Structure 1
Amino acid sequence: MSNIRITKQFNFETGHALHGYDGKCKNVHGHSYKLNVTVIGQPITDPNHVKNGMVIDFGDLKKIVNHEIVDLFDHATVFNKNTPHVELANELQKRGHNTILVDYQPTSENMVIDFAKKISAKLPTHIKLFSLKLQETDTSFAEWYASDN
């Protein structure tokens, strides 16, 4: 049986700031992120299975990615909790804003690594995460491939 890759794209709005950065991204700002999630596996071949012919139901993949990533990051602001930005995050939280504190500088590169771990942990055992592409702007993105890791 052949391995097949399927991809689903997700969109979310997230703000962040890069502590210590020497350019404009040191300021709090946001992006309209696009996340392409590609998984690989063999299609189900049981003609009596409700999902016959599918590697994974796109709806099931959507539930995983929404729960682990989109529902948390959409319209949130991400800060590195190991920097003075934690004070800003705490103040924003007190005022009712959705903030996320992470253990890393919230660059696209680090976010895609984090997302890969979270998504991989929730996939069925017969499905593997093949790649992620996190697009920050129309011309800038970070990619994660299982084969590189």
Structure 2
Amino acid sequence: MIHQIYPSVQHPYRYELNKDFHFAAAHYVPSDDAGKCQYVHGHTYFANITIAGDELDHSGFLVNFAVIKKLIHDRFDHTLLNNDTANFNDKEPERFPTTEVVARTIAEIVQSHLDRQPNKPKCLQVFLRETPTSYVVYRPKDGVM
């Protein structure tokens, strides 16, 4: 795994969890302005998800690390992101599978899972590296995805 210092999120919670993982996926950005990125190509994405909360669950976890990885890795690894029509489409720029939108989508998927947990943790940040020199940080505003 890439050793990285991630941007910090200031928050009032007692616990903060960070999960690193990677996944390999292809995509294309359906816009003439995307240059070469409008053609199918792939990346090994490196992700860090920051989750925080005040209460632990019945197992003593804020969230089980394995669950977070499973939510994202199992869904996106070795896929063409554009084929995930539940999250991405070729018509709305807010749903093109750019790194920004993929980071936001990861946050939405994780938060949807967290909302069903009795201890109600919050996804505070998704750091998503697309290449060795390019990354996006997504932070929901005031709990709004």
State whether structure 2 residue 65 is matched by structure 1 residue 55: no
Q: Which moved more, 1:35-44 or 1:114-123?
A: 35-44
Rg larger in structure = 1
Separation of aligned partners in 2, 1:66 and 1:56 = 12
Aligned partner of 1:33 in structure 2 is 45
**TM value normalised by structure 2:** 0.72
Q: In 2, are the aligned partners of 1:39 and 1:129 still within 8 Å (CA)?
A: yes
Partners of 1:65 and 1:121 lie apart in 2 by 14
Select the structure that is richer in strand: 1
- Given candidates 56, 80, 84, the residue that maps to 1:100 is 84
Query: Mean alpha-carbon deviation: is it higher for 7-16 or for 117-126?
Result: 117-126
Instruction: Output one character per residue of 1:34-69: Cα deviation in whole Å (capped at 9) or x when no partner.
Output: 11111001254x9xx652xx43333xxx224413x2
Preserved CA contact (<8 Å) 1:5 1:130: no
Q: Percent identity?
A: 31
Structure-2 change in CA distance of 1:119 and 1:13 (3 Å):
same
Q: TM-score, normalised by structure 1?
A: 0.70
Give the equivalent residue in structure 2 for 1:70.
73
Unaligned runs of 5+ in 2: 1-11, 90-94
Q: 1:114 to 1:57 in 2, by over 3 A?
A: closer
Q: Distance in 2 between matches of 1:131 and 1:15?
A: 23
2:26 to 6, 15, 29: 15
State how far apart, in whole Å, the 2-side matches of 1:145 and 1:28 are: 27
**Displacement after TM superposition at 1:127 (Å):** 0.8
Q: Secondary structure in 2 aligned to 1:146? A: coil
After the TM superposition, which parts of structure 1 deviate over 6 Å for at least 4 consecutive aligned residues?
A: none
Change (3 A) 1:30 1:43: same
Long gaps (5+) in structure 1 = 80-98
Report deviation, 1:16: 0.5
Distance 2:52 2:102 in 1: 21
Seen in structure 2, the aligned counterparts of structure 1 residues 16 and 50 have a Cα distance that, compared at 3 Å, is closer
Amino acid at match of 1:109: E
> Residue in 2 aligned with 1:128?
122
Against the structure 1 CA distance between its residues 7 and 127, is the aligned structure 2 distance closer, same or farther, given a 3 Å change threshold? same
Q: CA deviation at 1:113?
A: 1.4
For 2:13 and 2:75, locate their aligned partners in 1 and report how far apart those are by CA, in whole Å. Answer: 35
Root-mean-square deviation (CA, aligned residues, Å) is: 2.4
